[in-house]
């Protein structure tokens, strides 16, 4: 049995179940009783918690990460210590890791990959702007939500875990994604996260890792000394510009990588808007400079064990094509006079052949008919192929799909070359992109939240679909169930479609409707209680001897002009007529009061409480059991025996009879 399950940390976070285990911590599903929400609680493993220096760094790192607030970063709510237990309270994610997603889907298409990597880089940009480096970016630390958004997780934990990590088999999961400077043990900066993000991008595009090996050391050595296969050598459908972005992010030399996450985002956005965009660099620009310095040793005790793996990787590298440049490392030889003559003759022959070839090509185009490129936008591929100005002239080649609110699914939304351009010759091709249908999202449930909380929950949808959220005063409603400021309903409702530019309307609670109490003093009790339904009030009657006529109201609580919720209980003190002297020193019996504590059900956190005295309600309202420490106190009054009953959500859990002593005066 897990010792933490059922335990409440800091009298606030109840541990419900274990949901995951990592190298440094165990993750539990928990409930925050103060805010009544589900959370993830990450508890540091006991052996690490014994190290005081580690605990201090753990707390400092986590406190810094708690300052991050971005839709693409898992939120950290709290960092605390309960006795010897160090823990972090985080947002509970309804989703799976990117690693699990890739294992289910296999190789991702480049559009989905672009969608994911852009969000990852936005999260890193926010963290880097706050001076925080993740140090362990990998698919296992990236969460994919049900709505397709992603969140980067394990800031802080990743920093500490990486600092204590050695390049052993236990580190194999992370070493596939570390930068060369991390493998060397050098000082790192934000560009190390960019390298790791580049590896994640490579894996999404190709369905494989850039470097594989039998041990962590052999993989790390490849990061230091090898160049991976270019993504398009594995999958020719990957756009060239996206390949360039990936390889620049993975440049072995940090100075040749993107200098910041924002710079990489700029190229990703430019590519998204125009896949044929011309970037200001080429693969050859990313080639590491040659150096005569000897190879540096890895700063790890495991290097000796990886010598054989390094030798195997060296042999593989000799057989692998260099995708940055083709050049000869052999020293030049002295050329003889005979060889020089042969070279000159060969050059002259090549020049003559080139001139003849050019003339032949130019002649072949003489008199070639010129064709205008027709507009195919809005047509299906079949309709386009059957056009008179296409059939027999152009080949229609479908190369992809795009969301479109203007054209229905299957109709052409973009073409290359554009309509109106001209082309000569034969074998002409028009590339087309067809509509994948309107990009439609799904509304999530934000009821029982405040407007501010709803805006946070909706942030990724707002950004993706350019949504507007409105909470109009004229839409506010009274509610007996929700306090003022909390959302009753939304339009569209949960699960309904969201389209580009939609507006989400929030109906916000004004709390229970209130009435202003009139004065009941001096009226007959039967007259007043007969108006209970009309007044939307409940009445509790206390009789007491008085010089006033029997049945006349002599006091009320709350007092007249007080604003109370509809359905509230008003206590009326009613005269029972004069009381004869009983010889006990006084002539009038007055009701006494007692403070009663009612224990609340331990298996319920909140509900609607109703307390009855002798069949009449003396309290009604919504309560939070945790805030009351599972005990509800109320003052009761009267004389003699009285029966108290309590209901939570209309289920009776308390039924006791008490004796209240009155007094004579």
> What residues act catalytically?
136
Tokens standing for 574? Answer: 């009613």
CA atoms within 13 A on the CB side of 305: 15
Tokens standing for 637? Answer: 């009054």
Q: What are phi and psi of 144, to 5 degrees?
A: -105, 120
Bridge pairing between strands 569-575 and 538-544: parallel
Tokens standing for 16? Answer: 């419900």
User: Are 21 and 30 contacting, i.e. CB atoms less than 8 angstroms apart?
Assistant: no
Other CB atoms within a 10 A radius of the CB of residue 229 amount to: 14
DSSP string, 471-515: --GGG-B--SSS-TTBEEEEESPTT-EE-TT-EEEEEEB--S-EE
Edge-first strand order for the sheet with 538-544 is 538-544, 569-575, 553-557
Q: How far apart are CA 229 and CA 225, in angstroms?
A: 13
CA angle 367, 370, 374 (to 5 degrees): 165
Pick from 172, 253, 187: nearest CA to 219: 172
Q: What are phi and psi of 306, to 5 degrees?
A: -100, 10
What does the DSSP 8-state code read for residue 228? P
Sorted by sequence, the CB contacts under 8 Å of residue 127 that are 6+ apart come out as 68, 70, 73, 133, 134, 152, 155
Element (H, E) at 656: strand 651-660
CA atoms within 13 A on the CB side of 603: 1
Three-state SS for 123? helix
DSSP string, 193-204: HHHHHHHHHHHH
User: Are 205 and 142 contacting, i.e. CB atoms less than 8 angstroms apart?
Assistant: no
Tokens standing for 344? Answer: 């000159």
Other CB atoms within a 10 A radius of the CB of residue 391 amount to: 11
């Amino acid at each position: 049995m897990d010792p933490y399950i059922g335990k409440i940390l800091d009298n606030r976070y109840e541990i419900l179940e274990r949901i995951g285990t990592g190298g440094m911590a165990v993750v539990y599903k928990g409930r925050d009783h103060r805010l009544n929400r589900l959370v993830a609680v990450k508890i540091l493993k006991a052996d690490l918690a014994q190290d005081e220096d580690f605990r201090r760094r753990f707390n400092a790192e986590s406190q810094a990460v708690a300052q991050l607030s971005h839709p693409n970063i898992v939120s950290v709510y709290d960092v605390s210590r309960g006795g010897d237990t160090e823990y972090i309270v985080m947002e509970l994610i309804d989703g799976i890791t990117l690693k699990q997603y890739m294992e289910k889907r296999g190789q991702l298409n480049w559009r989905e990959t672009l969608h994911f990597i852009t969000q990852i880089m936005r999260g890193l940009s926010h963290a880097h702007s706050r001076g925080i480096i993740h140090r362990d970016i990998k698919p296992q630390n990236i969460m994919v939500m049900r709505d397709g958004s992603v969140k980067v997780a394990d800031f802080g934990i990743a920093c500490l875990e990486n600092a204590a990590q050695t390049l052993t088999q236990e580190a194999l999961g992370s070493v596939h994604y570390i930068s060369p400077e991390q493998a060397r043990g050098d000082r790192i900066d934000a560009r190390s996260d960019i390298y790791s993000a580049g590896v994640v991008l490579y894996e999404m595009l190709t369905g494989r890792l850039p470097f594989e090996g039998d041990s962590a050391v052999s993989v790390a050595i490849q990061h230091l000394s090898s160049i991976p296969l270019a993504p398009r050598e594995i999958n020719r459908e990957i756009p060239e510009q996206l390949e360039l972005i990936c390889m620049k992010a993975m440049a072995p030399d940090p100075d040749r990588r993107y200098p910041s996450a924002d710079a990489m985002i700029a190229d990703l956005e430019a590519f998204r808007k125009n896949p044929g965009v011309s970037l200001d660099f080429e693969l050859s620009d990313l080639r590491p400079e040659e150096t005569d310095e000897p190879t540096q040793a890895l700063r790890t005790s495991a290097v000796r064990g990886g010598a054989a793996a390094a030798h195997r990787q060296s042999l593989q590298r000799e057989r692998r094509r260099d995708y940055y440049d083709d050049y000869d490392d052999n020293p030049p030889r002295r050329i003889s006079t005979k060889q020089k003559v042969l070279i000159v003759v060969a050059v002259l022959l090549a020049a003559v052949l080139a001139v003849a070839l050019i003339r032949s090509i130019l002649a072949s185009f003489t008199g070639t008919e010129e064709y205008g490129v027709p507009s195919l936008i809005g047509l299906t591929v079949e309709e386009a192929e059957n056009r008179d100005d296409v059939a027999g002239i152009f080949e229609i080649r479908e190369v992809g799909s795009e969301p479109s609110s203007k054209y229905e699914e299957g109709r052409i939304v973009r073409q290359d070359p554009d309509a109106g351009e001209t082309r000569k010759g034969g074998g002409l091709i028009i590339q087309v992109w067809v509509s994948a249908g309107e990009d439609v999202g799904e509304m999530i449930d934000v009821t029982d939240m405040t407007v501010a909380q709803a805006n946070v929950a909706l942030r990724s949808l707002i950004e993706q679909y350019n949504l507007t959220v409105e909470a109009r005063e004229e839409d506010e409603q009274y509610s007996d169930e929700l306090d003022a400021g909390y959302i009753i309903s939304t339009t569209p409702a949960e699960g309904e479609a969201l389209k580009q530019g939609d507006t989400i309307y929030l109906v916000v609670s004004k709390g229970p409707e209130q009435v202003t109490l009139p004065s009941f003093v001096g009226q007959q009790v039967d007259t007043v209680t007969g108006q209970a339904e009309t007044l939307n009030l409940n009445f509790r009657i206390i009789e007491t001897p008085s010089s006033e006529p029997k049945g006349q109201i002599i006091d009320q609580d709350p007092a007249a002009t007080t604003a109370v919720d509809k359905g509230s209980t008003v206590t009326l003190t009613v005269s029972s007529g004069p009381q004869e002297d009983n010889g006990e020193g006084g002539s009038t019996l007055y009701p006494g009061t007692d403070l009663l504590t009612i224990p609340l059900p331990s298996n319920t956190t909140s509900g609607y409480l109703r307390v009855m005295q002798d069949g009449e309600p003396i309290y009604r309202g919504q309560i939070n059991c945790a805030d009351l420490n599972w005990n509800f106190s109320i003052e009761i009054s009267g004389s003699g025996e009285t029966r108290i009953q309590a209901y939570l959500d209309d289920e009776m859990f308390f039924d006791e009879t008490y004796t209240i002593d009155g007094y004579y005066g």
